[in-house]
Amino acid sequence: MVIGDRLRTLREEKNLSQGDIEKRSGLLRCYISRVEHGHTVPSIETLEKMSRALEVPLYQLFYEGNGTPEPPKPIRKLSRGKSVKEGRLMAKFHRLLSRTGEDDRKLLLHVARKMASHTST
């Protein structure tokens, strides 16, 4: 979806001119035109002004369906451990592993699996 096309569609559905949006939002008409034609990408602050001028919730600038969209599924966070101490240890592992190469990570994972199999038996 091109945001400029969506803004123009919403504006036209409400029978508003670019001048009307200029008066309601404080944005210049030439800027509104540039956004609608895809010559400029608006900031989130500008999109908030435009959504208020169009009298629609901000999410409707990005959502073309009817009704309210389903909320996104929560993203599972990396486990930080059961205690503060474990959390710090996990954070150290995460920080250090992010600096290693793929081959080194595979080797470490192999070693960890071997160590875990010896402790579980």
Residue 36 lies in a domain: yes
The model's pLDDT over 55-98, given as tens digits with 9 standing for 90+, comes to 998 888 887 777 776 776 765 555 555 777 887 888 888 888 88
Residue 22 lies in a domain: yes
CA gap 10, 18 in Å, rounded: 12
Instruction: State the distance between the two ends of the chain, measured CA to CA, in whole angstroms.
Output: 55
Based on DSSP, count helices (H) and strands (E) in the chain, helices before strands. Answer: 6, 0
Residue 48 lies in a domain: yes
Whether residue 7 is found in the same domain as residue 56: yes
The alpha carbon of residue 81 and the mean position of all alpha carbons in its chain are separated, in whole angstroms, by 27
Number of domains making up the chain: 2
Whether residue 90 is found in the same domain as residue 50: no
Residue 71 lies in a domain: no
Domain closes at, from 61, 93, 110: 61
- In degrees, to the nearest 5, what angle opens at C-alpha 65 toward C-alphas 56 and 35? 55
The model's pLDDT over 34-63, given as tens digits with 9 standing for 90+, comes to 999 999 999 999 999 999 999 998 888 887
Could you tell me the pTM of the whole model?
0.56
Q: Give the pLDDT band (50/70/90) at residue 119.
A: low
Residue range(s) defining the domain that contains residue 43: 3-61
